[in-house]
């Protein structure tokens, strides 16, 4: 088989973020959550770093974002986009922490 065919077939079996989050929410699927973290750790960390101006705080806030997403997984609305949900959680975490951390 050619690489193009293999790539196309592999793409048919990629789990969307929404499907992965549904598995996390309904089945407490640790592998699905780990996949979401692999996909979004760097972008969330970059956002948090930009908001705080500090890469170490950005790392901490990214971790806190994923902890909050997991802790509140039952509150996720499956009809909404996971992208909207994850960015909103990250922004809320950063806003809250920036008010509490001086400088």
pLDDT in tens, 1-45: 666 665 555 556 789 999 999 999 999 999 999 999 999 999 999
Answer whether residue 95 shows pLDDT above 80. Answer: yes
Q: Assign 3-state DSSP to the chain and report helix, strand, coil percentages, each to 5.
A: 80, 0, 20
Token pair of 98, please? 């920036």
Confidence (pLDDT) at 14: 82
Question: Does residue 92 sit within a domain?
Answer: yes
pTM for the structure as a whole: 0.81
Q: What is the mean pLDDT of residues 80-100?
A: 90
b (16+ CB within 10 A) / e for 53-90 = eeeebbebbbbbbbeebeeebeebeeeeebeebbbebb
How many structural domains comprise the chain?
Answer: 1
In a domain, 66, yes or no: yes
Is 48 within a domain?
yes
- The CATH number given to whatever domain includes residue 73 is 1.10.1740.10
Residue 30's domain comprises 17-100
Mean pLDDT of the chain: 89
Residue 85 confidence (pLDDT): 94
């Amino acid at each position: 088989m050619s690489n193009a065919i293999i790539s196309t077939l592999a793409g048919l079996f990629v789990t969307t973020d929404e499907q992965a989050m549904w598995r996390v929410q309904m089945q407490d699927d640790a592998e699905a959550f780990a996949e979401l973290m692999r996909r979004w750790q760097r972008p969330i960390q970059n956002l948090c770093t930009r908001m705080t101006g500090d890469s170490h705080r950005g790392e901490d806030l990214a971790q806190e974002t994923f902890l909050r997403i997991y802790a509140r997984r039952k509150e996720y609305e499956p009809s909404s986009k996971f992208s909207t949900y994850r960015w909103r959680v990250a922004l809320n975490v950063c806003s809250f922490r920036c008010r509490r951390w001086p400088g």
